[in-house]
């Protein structure tokens, strides 16, 4: 069953078009997060009833970016400018008060230490958008954003003293060895009977996540965000199709403007028995369609490698335990998947 479509008109015809108040910055640095905050209607369920986005233009270029509802009548659209100069934007929405709002801002030079998002360079390597080389030295801390303020701050302090410039981390909490605590925040609101309301997100959950992504960005650390994983006792791993799709659109709208984001569809996708190959391909398509900034994207295995020849894959994310065999296979993998740059990850 697909995701229900929003109503064609969320507000009555008597509502004045483009009447919602809008607040944004008039200037932003290259590859920083620019945001417009819109104060609009909150009746019904804006998480599913309202469609919102904006078209951003500079010269003849036009880029569409989806927006999202952040609760309490607040809507946001975020953007990561990649070109200096004056940008113009115009909103589009099925809510009349949010539709047709126009504005502009100026993109100036990048702030110190900001080299832009990481891209594939020369087929087998990585580099930042401004051409600075990037050599990934990564670590894993799957559930660190679900451990509470004290331990999360300690994690950031440890990372600041470390050589790591990349971290693999889960969006959802994890149930595994050393991960037995209940998270402070849940991704969805609850109904009056205590059940999750999968049609209403908990904005506090996602605000907390994006704050931590921004914290990593300040340290120069890439956040390889794991969108799904099987180590779950709450129900995130077995959400239905409509909920999966709604979640992906929502998280990409919230986080795509952060330059240090990578997308990992799953950690150990082949252990997620409720998902099929068609699901993973649909997930990838949805992420790509809603992320106009082209962040790196892959899928991670336990036993069977994903098919990295898929056109949406930007790099390999491979798990192996036999280091010497991994080294011996590198050339073979380059020949097999060498049409794009690939990142090799081993677990030893």
Separation of alpha carbons 160 and 97, rounded Å: 44
pLDDT score of 319: 87
Largest CA distance in the chain: 70
pLDDT score of 337: 84
pLDDT score of 320: 80
Beta-carbon count within 10 A of 86 CB: 11
Q: In this structure, what are the phi and psi dihedrals at residue 301, rounded to the nearest 5 degrees?
A: -110, 165
**Can you list the domains of the chain with their CATH numbers?**
21-108 (2.60.40.10), 118-337 (3.20.20.80)
Reference 210, options 88, 68, 22, 24; nearest CA is 68
Show the low-confidence residues of the chain (pLDDT under 70): 1-5, 323-325, 339-348
pLDDT score of 329: 81
Q: Which residue(s) pair with 39 in the sheet?
A: 21, 74
If DSSP codes are grouped into helix, strand and coil, which group holds residue 224?
A: strand
pLDDT score of 278: 97
Q: Following DSSP, what letter does each residue of 51-77 receive, concatenated?
A: -EEEEEEETTEEEEEE-EE-STTEEEE
pLDDT score of 179: 87
Separation of alpha carbons 31 and 107, rounded Å: 9
Q: Are β-strands 74-79 and 68-69 bridged in parallel, bridged antiparallel, or unpaired?
A: antiparallel
Reference 265, options 171, 148, 182; nearest CA is 171
Q: pTM higher than 0.85 for the full model? A: yes
Beta-carbon count within 10 A of 213 CB: 20
User: Which residues touch 22 (CB under 8 Å, ≥6 apart)?
Assistant: 36, 37, 38, 39, 101, 103
pLDDT score of 3: 57
State pLDDT tens for residues 144-183.
999 999 999 999 999 999 999 999 999 999 999 888 999 9
């Amino acid at each position: 069953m697909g995701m229900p479509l929003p109503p064609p008109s969320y507000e009555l015809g008597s509502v004045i078009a483009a009447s919602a108040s809008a607040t944004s910055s008039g200037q932003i640095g290259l590859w920083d997060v620019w945001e417009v905050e819109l104060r609009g209607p909150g009746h019904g369920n804006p998480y599913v009833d309202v469609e919102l986005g904006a078209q951003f233009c500079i010269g003849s270029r036009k880029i569409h970016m989806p927006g999202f509802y952040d609760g309490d009548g607040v809507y946001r659209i975020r953007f990561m400018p990649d070109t200096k100069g004056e940008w113009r934007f115009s909103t589009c929405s099925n809510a009349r008060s949010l539709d047709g709002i126009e504005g502009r801002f100026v993109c100036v030079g990048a702030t110190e230490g900001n080299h832009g998002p990481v891209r594939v360079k020369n087929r087998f390597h990585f580099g930042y958008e401004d051409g600075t080389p990037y050599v990934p030295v990564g670590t894993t801390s799957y559930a660190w954003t679900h451990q509470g303020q004290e331990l999360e701050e300690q994690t950031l302090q440890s990372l600041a003293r470390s050589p790591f410039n990349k971290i693999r981390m889960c969006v959802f909490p994890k149930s595994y060895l050393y991960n037995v605590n209940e998270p402070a925040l849940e991704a969805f609101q609850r109904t009056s009977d205590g059940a999750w309301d999968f049609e209403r997100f908990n904005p506090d959950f996602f605000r907390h996540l994006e704050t931590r992504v921004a914290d990593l960005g300040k340290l120069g650390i890439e956040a390889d965000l794991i969108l799904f994983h099987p180590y779950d006792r709450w129900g995130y791993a077995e959400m239905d199709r409509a909920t999966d799709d709604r979640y992906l659109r929502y998280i990409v709208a919230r986080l795509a403007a952060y330059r240090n984001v990578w997308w990992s569809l799953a950690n150990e996708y082949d252990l997620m028995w409720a998902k099929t190959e068609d699901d993973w391909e649909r997930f990838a398509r949805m992420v790509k369609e809603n992320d106009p900034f082209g962040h790196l994207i892959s899928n991670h295995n336990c036993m069977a490698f994903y098919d990295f020849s898929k056109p949406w894959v930007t790099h390999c994310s491979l798990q192996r335990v036999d280091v010497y065999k991994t080294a011996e296979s590198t050339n073979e993998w380059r020949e097999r998947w060498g049409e794009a740059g690939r990142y090799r990850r081993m677990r030893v």
